[in-house]
Amino acid sequence: MLKPVLAALLLAIPAFAQSTSLTAHDFVFSGESHDRRIFVVRHGQVVWSYDDPTGKGEISDCVMLSNGNFLFAHQFGVTLLSPDKKVLWSYDPPPNHEVHTAVPIGTDRVLYIQNGDPALVRVVNIVTGAIEKEFPLPTKQPVSVHGQFRHARLTPAGTLLVAHMDLGKVVEYDASGKELWSFPAPGAWGVEPLANGNILITDRQGVREITRRGDTAWSWKPADTPTQHFVNLQNATRLPNGNTVINSWTNEWTKDDNNRAGQMQAIELTPDKQVVWVLQSWAPPAALGPATTIQFLDQPATPEATHFGDIH
User: How many alpha carbons lie under 13 Å from residue 187 in its C-beta half-sphere?
Assistant: 10
The amino acid occupying position 308 is F
C-beta pairs of 215-221 under 8 Å, 24+ apart in sequence: 218/244, 218/271, 220/244, 220/246, 220/269, 220/273
Radius of gyration of the chain measured on its C-alpha atoms: 20
**10-residue stretch averages of pLDDT, the chain, 312 residues long:** 38 54 96 95 97 90 98 97 98 97 98 98 98 98 96 98 98 98 98 98 97 98 94 96 96 89 95 97 95 94 97 96
Confidence at residue 5, expressed as pLDDT on a 0 to 100 scale: 39
Confidence at residue 7, expressed as pLDDT on a 0 to 100 scale: 36
Confidence at residue 226, expressed as pLDDT on a 0 to 100 scale: 94
Confidence at residue 187, expressed as pLDDT on a 0 to 100 scale: 97
Domains by residue range for the chain, with CATH:
18-209 (2.130.10.10)
Confidence at residue 257, expressed as pLDDT on a 0 to 100 scale: 86
- The pTM assigned to this predicted structure is 0.93
How are strands ordered across the β-sheet holding 199-203?
Answer: 190-193, 199-203, 206-210, 216-220
Confidence at residue 198, expressed as pLDDT on a 0 to 100 scale: 98
Q: With helix as H, strand as E and coil as C, how does 177-216 read? A: CCEEEEEECCCCCEEEECCCCCEEEEECCEEEEECCCCCE
Confidence at residue 8, expressed as pLDDT on a 0 to 100 scale: 36
Confidence at residue 286, expressed as pLDDT on a 0 to 100 scale: 96
How far is the C-alpha of 261 from the C-alpha of 84, rounded, in Å? 29
Confidence at residue 255, expressed as pLDDT on a 0 to 100 scale: 85
Task: Yes or no: say if 172 and 164 are a contact pair by the CB < 8 Å rule.
Answer: no
How far is the C-alpha of 308 from the C-alpha of 154, rounded, in Å? 7
- Candidates 120, 116, 107; CA nearest to 63 is 107
